[in-house]
Amino acid sequence: MVKIFSGSAHPQLSLRVTKLLRLPLSIAHITHFDNSEVKVTIKEEVKNQVCFIIQPTCNPTDTHLMELFFFCDALRRQEAKKVIGIIPYFGYARQDIQHQPGECVSVNVIIRFLETIGFDKIYTVDLHDEATEGVFSIPFKNLTALPLLADAVKKYLFDKKLVKPGNLIESIAITSPDQGGIERTRKFSLHFFKHEKGSFSLSLMKKKRTLAIAHQSETLDLYGEVKNKIVIIVDDIITSGTTLINAANLCLKKGAKKVIAAVVHHDLSPKAPSLIQNSPIELIFTTDSIPFKNNDQLIKFKEISLSTILAEEIKHVK
């Protein structure tokens, strides 16, 4: 039998997974001290057991990371057979190169920590850049929620009678809001159009980041045809909302009928919910890799659970 533990980042997601697996959530105490230190205490027998810890390393990123590290240490000390981390949202993944001279490469440091502390394997979902996989020297699997999101968007469009099966390629433009997202957009599109006849083309936007100012970017141009089409913008993460909102505005300026988005992780900054609410984006399909902070944020979001794909992976681990 496997044991599944939950960090404090997203117990609801952990419970969704254990419910599908018909397993109890294993017991641990997480203490948050007033000086911001954390402590993890395992409260059940784990000797020779395969143990999973589900913990997205979302905001507060560093606290959630420390919990994850301490879970692994505590389980190792109790002689667990294997310790496997499920990190549905991998914080720091965007800091994967030196964007400017003098910068740290934070994701590299996090990976070194995960390996050194003693994880046997790490799972994540739609890592910012697939190339980061090569930095791991322990087994690592990057799962994808893009098919789940593509199915959900398609169902919404059919239910609302906005498109008909058979004419998706003519009515829909799937677009990446930046150069780095083109492969992700292609994968989403392959699934989205899989029952359609004919070949599809993608559109792409040129985005420029203002490196000196956090969360600032400009959408400079759009390559591809969006006129009179429903546009689906595909991205991995939304934080300030700037990328998505600028992209949506440009699509509408170029004649798009409406804009919907499919974004795997909503790692929202404080101002993002109201910016999104007041933006022309109709709806953002996302996952429960990160919990929403309050119900207001749900107004323009439609959340699809990752629990099915996480449970499926756990089932196959011995």
Q: What are the CA-CA distances from residue 237 to residues 94, 98, 211 (Å)? A: 9, 19, 18
The residue to which tokens 């969006």 are assigned:
226
Whether 299 contacts 18, CB under 8 Å: no
Which of 7, 50, 68, 178 lies at the binding interface for ligand R5P (CB under 6 A)?
Answer: 178
Which of 56, 85, 91, 181 lies at the binding interface for ligand R5P (CB under 6 A)?
Answer: 181
Q: How does DSSP classify residue 296?
A: G
Structure tokens at 222: 């759009």
Q: Does 56 bind ligand R5P (CB under 6 A)?
A: no
Whether 93 contacts 132, CB under 8 Å: yes
Q: Does 126 bind ligand R5P (CB under 6 A)?
A: no
Which of 67, 126, 236, 303 lies at the binding interface for ligand R5P (CB under 6 A)?
Answer: 236
Query: What part of residues 237-256 is at the interface with ligand R5P (CB under 6 A)?
Result: 237-244
Nearer to ligand R5P, 21 or 143 (CB): 143
Nearer to ligand R5P, 108 or 239 (CB): 239
Nearer to ligand R5P, 26 or 242 (CB): 242
Q: Does 265 bind ligand R5P (CB under 6 A)?
A: no
**In this structure, is the dihedral angle defined by the CA atoms of residues 258, 188, 159 and 301, taken in order, positive or negative?**
negative
Distance of closest approach, residue 94 Cβ to ligand R5P, in angstroms: 6
In angstroms, how far is the first alpha carbon of the chain from the final one? 8
Distance of closest approach, residue 186 Cβ to ligand R5P, in angstroms: 15
Q: Does 266 bind ligand R5P (CB under 6 A)?
A: no
Query: Measured in whole angstroms, how far is the alpha carbon of residue 111 from the centre of its chain?
Result: 17
Q: What are φ and ψ of residue 183, in 5° steps?
A: -65, -40
Nearer to ligand R5P, 73 or 129 (CB): 129
Which of 118, 180, 224, 291 lies at the binding interface for ligand R5P (CB under 6 A)?
Answer: 180
Question: Residue 175 and residue 224: Cα distance in Å, rounded?
Answer: 8
Nearer to ligand R5P, 49 or 240 (CB): 240
The stretch near ligand R5P (CB under 6 A) out of 13-21, 147-155, 164-172, 173-181 is 173-181
Q: Which of 3, 154, 207, 229 is catalytic?
A: 207
Distance of closest approach, residue 315 Cβ to ligand R5P, in angstroms: 31
Whether 91 contacts 58, CB under 8 Å: yes
Active site residue 194: no
Structure tokens at 177: 């809001």
Measured at the CA of 288, the angle between CA 286 and CA 292, to 5 degrees, comes to 90
Packed helices 11-21 and 307-315: angle between N→C axes, nearest 10 degrees: 50
What does the binding site for ligand R5P look like in residue numbers (CB under 6 A)? 94, 177-178, 180-181, 215, 217, 235-244
Catalytic residue IDs: 207
